[in-house]
């Protein structure tokens, strides 16, 4: 199968190369170091997604969209935004940082909520996927990668459209209804956006239940001038996810769980833009309420977390070849839970980023972060990125350190219950994860439309936190446990190494007003090894081989979009619930659109999981088979 994929991959390269002689496109501009720069100068492997492309693809939530990005593994527990984990380069889902307009979204309760991204797709200007460590720049726990989401009101792009309205309605089997609505435009000296997105279905058959979901995001945003060179930015979002979570977290026959996660998120920022510098001061508040019901006979887990963030950033363009960024961040997080107890933690850090060009073709970025955490104290985190660009070819390399402390679930799961007969047990004695990340590779561009990237990466981790089957006698705290129970303890693994190779392919070709071809595809070979004898949960679940693809082809009034993913990973069995993770699976999805009414109205037909593949990304969490839907999409 791998040989077939490689043949198809390079045939596509040859096919696209023939088209690439027609015209040129500019190189992509990214903000990986907080100052806009050409992507080939960053020394990193970055994939940029345009927000306008999501509504063209057969996806219904942002996590589903990310699933088909080269090098990104999204392990879905449920469809259409119910719950997913983002894994990049084998990093656990807690090691991938999600950032929205400069503010981190990862919740202190658990990394499983990282994909609850409170923004409407049409509010997104672009998403930058930074693969590999970026801890010195974005935060100490950005070890596997960063998903950097930039909204239209949060970007430097100027939109002069007086008013725009868009909406989508889609229906499908399993009583599926997808709904999107957005109004945006000018108001006074600024711009506003009001948007809503909802995915709901009665659900596909599971083991005695139905995989229902009812997910909704509502957001309001404003950005406007308040004084000379000063801009005020506001965004509020309410996000609600209500879904069947059967066997999301355990392989037990008694697990018929349901879960509801509701969060409110507020961001306030002021930006002063000068001719050579930009100053940003911003703060955010997030409150999340999680209600988890394992089965009807038990009491629900009630968890409430709060996350406060305050940060400032000053970006200076010294001259054409030199720039400097400095910043300070402060986080305060707390939890109130009948399952995990009441706890709080404070965290602060400062960073400095120097980007310069010592030679005509050599671009270097040196970063250093000094972090303090109430749990682990002071840490110094350096990072060095370098790129050497010669026309269509760029060589690049990066090295950096990262550190991640345990979340509240890893420390205190099942800690506050009267009796726990089996399951995952938190460990307050956990030490923080520490890692060094290395990568080297090259990019090749053909007329700035075709980009091929090859990267070799290596990560050495100490104290990696994972759930490990542990005998009762070896668990530090057994007050509410049974000697005969089966438990997995949150444990520090002494040493874990991850090594791999990435091959990415990006192509965007616009030929006239309504003719365009967009293709993203990538392959990853990866292996993680540990000196521990006892198998851990997440370490053994990431893909060993991964191939993601998304293609959009528009010709006149007709557009077809295809997404696919193939992965190979370790097989697993859970005989009690008759569940299995197969060594490999392949998914194929499509959306066909026909445009009418002056290209403002489109009729859309989706078919997800065309081959009706039976699969699970995580043991017991069965995903749906073939799913068809149709609808209308209107833009004015």
pLDDT digits (tens, 9 = 90+) for 367-424: 999 999 999 999 999 999 999 999 889 999 999 999 999 999 999 999 999 999 988 9
pLDDT, tens only, 126-175 = 999 999 999 988 988 899 999 999 999 887 666 778 899 999 999 999 99
373: nearest Cα among 615, 56, 141:
141
- Contact between 573 and 546 under an 8 Å Cβ cutoff? The reply is no
Instruction: Sketch the domain layout of the chain as residue ranges.
Output: 2-635
Check whether 101 has a pLDDT greater than 60.
yes
Q: Say what the pLDDT of residue 159 is.
A: 72
Using one digit for the tens of pLDDT, what is the confidence trace for 277-296?
A: 999 999 999 999 999 999 99
Q: What is the pLDDT of residue 608?
A: 97
Cα distance between the two ends of the chain: 45
Element (H, E) at 18: helix 2-19
Contact predicate 165/137, CB 8 Å: no
Please give the average per-residue pLDDT across 249-278, as a whole number.
94
Give the angle 627-628-634 at the CA atoms, nearest 5°.
Answer: 130
**Per-residue model confidence as pLDDT tens digits over 440-478:** 999 998 877 889 999 999 999 999 999 999 999 999 999
Q: What is the mean pLDDT of residues 474-484?
A: 93
Q: Which pLDDT band, with edges at 50, 70 and 90, does 319 fall under?
A: confident
Cα of 572 vs its chain's centroid, Å: 25
Both tokens of residue 382?
């350096």
Q: For the chain, what percent of residues have pLDDT higher than 70?
A: 95
CATH number for the 2-635 domain, one of 2.40.170.20, 1.10.220.110, 3.40.50.720, 2.60.40.10?
Answer: 2.40.170.20
Q: What is the mean pLDDT of the chain?
A: 90
Band (9; pLDDT cuts 50, 70, 90) = very low
Residue 463 · residue 493 · CB < 8 Å: yes
Which pLDDT does position 430 carry in this prediction? 95
Structure confidence by residue, pLDDT tens digits, 449-459: 889 999 999 99
Please give the DSSP secondary-structure letter assigned to residue 63.
H
What is the separation of C-alpha 290 from the centre of its chain, rounded to a whole number of angstroms? 20
Q: Nearest to residue 623, comparing CAs of 66, 59, 90, 247? A: 247
Long-range contacts from 384-392, C-beta under 8 angstroms, 24+ separation: 385/33, 385/42, 385/43, 385/44, 386/43, 386/362, 387/40, 387/41, 387/42, 387/43, 387/362, 387/363, 388/361, 388/362, 388/363, 389/40, 389/41, 389/361, 389/363, 390/361, 392/444, 392/445, 392/446
> What tokens does 614 get?
């039976």
Strand-pair category, 433-446 with 393-404:
antiparallel
pLDDT band at 534 (very low <50, low <70, confident <90, very high): low
Statement: residue 16 has pLDDT above 60: no
**pLDDT for the residue numbered 13:** 43
pLDDT for the residue 157: 65
CA distance 94 to 113: 10
- Residue 102 near residue 154 (C-beta atoms within 8 A): yes
Q: Which residues of 139-163 are buried (b: 16+ CB within 10 A; e: fewer)?
A: bbbbbbbbbbbbbbbbbeeeeeeee
């Amino acid at each position: 199968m791998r040989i077939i994929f490689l043949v198809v991959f390079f045939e596509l390269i040859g096919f696209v190369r023939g088209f690439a002689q027609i015209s040129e496109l500019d190189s992509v501009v990214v903000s990986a170091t907080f100052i806009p720069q050409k992507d080939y100068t960053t020394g990193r492997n970055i994939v940029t997604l345009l927000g306008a492309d999501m509504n063209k693809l057969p996806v219904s939530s942002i996590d589903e969209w990310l699933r088909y990005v080269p090098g990104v593994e999204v392990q879905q527990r449920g469809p259409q935004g119910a719950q997913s984990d983002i894994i990049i380069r084998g990093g656990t889902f807690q090691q991938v940082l999600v950032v929205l307009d400069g503010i981190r979204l990862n919740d202190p309760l658990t990394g499983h909520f990282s994909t609850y991204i409170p923004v409407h797709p049409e509010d997104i200007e672009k998403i930058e996927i930074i693969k590999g460590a970026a801890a010195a720049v974005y935060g100490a726990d950005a070890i596997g990668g960063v998903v950097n989401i930039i909204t239209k009101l949060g970007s430097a792009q100027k939109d002069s459209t007086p008013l725009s309205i868009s909406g989508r309605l889609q229906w499908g089997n399993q009583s599926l209804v997808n709904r999107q609505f957005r109004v945006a435009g000018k108001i006074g000296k600024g711009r506003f956006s009001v948007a809503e997105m909802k995915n709901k279905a009665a659900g596909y058959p599971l083991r005695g239940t139905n995989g229902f979901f009812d997910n909704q995001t509502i957001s309001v945003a404003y950005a406007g001038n308040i004084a000379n060179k000063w801009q005020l930015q506001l965004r509020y979002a309410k996000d609600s996810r209500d879904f069947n979570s059967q066997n999301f977290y355990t392989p037990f026959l008694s697990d018929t769980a349901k879960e509801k996660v509701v969060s409110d998120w507020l961001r306030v920022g002021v930006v002063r833009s000068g001719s050579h510098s930009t100053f940003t001061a911003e703060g955010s508040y997030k409150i999340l309420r999680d209600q988890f019901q394992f089965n009807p006979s038990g009491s629900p887990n009630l968890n409430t977390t709060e996350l406060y963030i305050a940060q400032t950033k000053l970006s200076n363009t010294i001259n054409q070849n030199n720039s400097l960024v400095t910043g300070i961040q402060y986080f305060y997080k707390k939890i109130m839970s009948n399952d995990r107890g009441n706890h709080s933690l404070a965290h602060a850090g400062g960073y400095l980023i120097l980007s310069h060009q010592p030679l005509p073709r050599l671009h270097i970025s040196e970063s250093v972060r000094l972090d303090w955490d109430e749990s682990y104290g002071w840490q110094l985190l350096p990072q060095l990125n370098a790129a050497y660009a010669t026309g269509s070819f760029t060589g690049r390399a990066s090295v950096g350190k990262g550190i991640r402390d345990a979340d509240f679930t890893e420390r205190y799961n099942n800690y506050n219950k009267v009796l726990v007969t089996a399951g995952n047990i938190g460990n307050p004695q956990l030490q923080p994860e520490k890692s060094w990340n290395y990568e080297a590779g090259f990019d090749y561009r053909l007329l700035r439309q075709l980009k091929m990237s090859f990267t070799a990466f290596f990560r050495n981790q100490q104290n990696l936190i994972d759930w490990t089957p542990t005998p009762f006698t070896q668990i530090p705290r057994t007050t509410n446990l049974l000697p005969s129970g089966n438990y997995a303890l949150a444990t520090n693994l002494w040493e874990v190494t991850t090594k791999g190779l990435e091959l990415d392919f990006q192509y965007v070709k616009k030929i006239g007003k309504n003719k365009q071809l967009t293709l993203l595809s990538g392959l990853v070979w990866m292996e993680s090894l540990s000196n521990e004898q006892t198998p851990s949960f997440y370490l053994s679940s990431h893909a060993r081989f991964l191939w993601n693809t998304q293609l959009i082809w528009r010709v006149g009034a007709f557009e077809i979009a295809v997404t696919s993913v193939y992965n190979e990973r370790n097989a697993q069995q859970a005989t009690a619930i008759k569940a299995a993770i197969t060594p490999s699976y392949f998914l194929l999805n499509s959306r066909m659109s026909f445009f009418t009414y002056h290209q403002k109205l489109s009729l859309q037909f989706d078919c997800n999981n065309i081959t009706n593949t039976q699969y699970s990304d995580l043991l017991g969490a069965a995903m749906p088979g073939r799913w068809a839907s149709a609808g209308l999409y209107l833009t004015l």
